Amino acid sequence: MQAAEHIEYRPNEKRVAEIEKEIAAVSAQWLHGKKSGQLGFTLGGVGLEHPMDRRYFCARDAAGEIIAFNVFIPFAGMNGYMADITRRTSDAAGGVTEKINYDAFMAFKEEGVEWGSLGLAPLANIYEDGKNPDINLKFLNFIYEKCNRFYGFKSLHQAKEKYTPTMWVPGYFVYSTKNLTPQIAYAIVKIQNPGGMKDYLRSLFGKSM
């Protein structure tokens, strides 16, 4: 199905129940198709119950039905917007998410907004030039390279890299001991995915667990 129209929905100006119903339907289908549950911590939510300063950009097909949407959140004192949530139906046209991002960033540029971000790419580029990686970095790099079945760290980075961003800004997480421990690893899993290890195992063996 081809996306025929891109719109911005502004719930703080006027609530439209039909649009919100369609956004919820797209979100529900997207979540149903995922191998694991909805992630948290590094990602927000759709947030229509309390939109605050979120911006909602949607794509409609030729029949006028919403088939994809992206949610942007402000940063840098409202001088930047980050693509926080991107969701689409299974039959949406290829490239629809990228087109929404482009249209949104062009709209922000017209408004005089200085920064646009695609958000965090966890565990990408964790080795520092000129420094030998310690066991912790090697472990995290192993997860990045080999554990995409659990969560596509590498594919997420590649998806963002194709936009050829002008810069990559480092992100950090802090833990309380010199080395990563099983308890810390489990805590990282829990904050990223509230479903915990069971949800990751479900992604491997199906949703019957």
Own/partner contacts of 68-71, CB < 8 Å, gap of 24 or more, are 68/3, 68/26, 68/92, 68/96, 68/97, 68/100, 69/9, 69/23, 69/26, 69/100, 70/97, 70/100, 70/101, 70/104, 71/44, 71/46, 71/47
Given this model, what pLDDT does residue 32 score? 78
- Quote the CA–CA distance of 198 and 42 in Å, as a whole number: 20
Q: Between 44 and 72, whose confidence is greater?
A: 72
For the chain, which domains are there?
3-117 (3.40.630.30), 135-205 (no CATH)
Strands (E) in the chain, as ranges, are: 3-9, 55-61, 66-75, 80-88, 115-117
Residue appearing with tokens 């990408």:
124
Higher pLDDT among residues 53 and 136, named by residue: 53
pLDDT band at 205 (very low <50, low <70, confident <90, very high): low
Placement of tokens 């590649």 in the chain? 158
Query: What is the SS3 assignment for 174?
Result: coil
Q: What's the CA gap between 64 and 55, in Å, rounded?
A: 20
Q: What is the pTM of this model?
A: 0.77
What are the tens digits of pLDDT across the range 27-65? 999 887 765 555 544 456 899 999 999 999 999 998 999
Rounded-to-5 percentages of helix, strand, coil across the chain: 35, 15, 45
Do 197 and 186 meet the contact criterion of CB atoms below 8 Å apart?
Answer: yes
* pLDDT at residue 35, as a whole number: 53
Q: Which of 119, 124, 75 is nearest to 97 (CA)?
A: 119
Least confident of 54-63, 123-132, 149-158: 149-158
In the prediction, which pLDDT does 126 show?
86
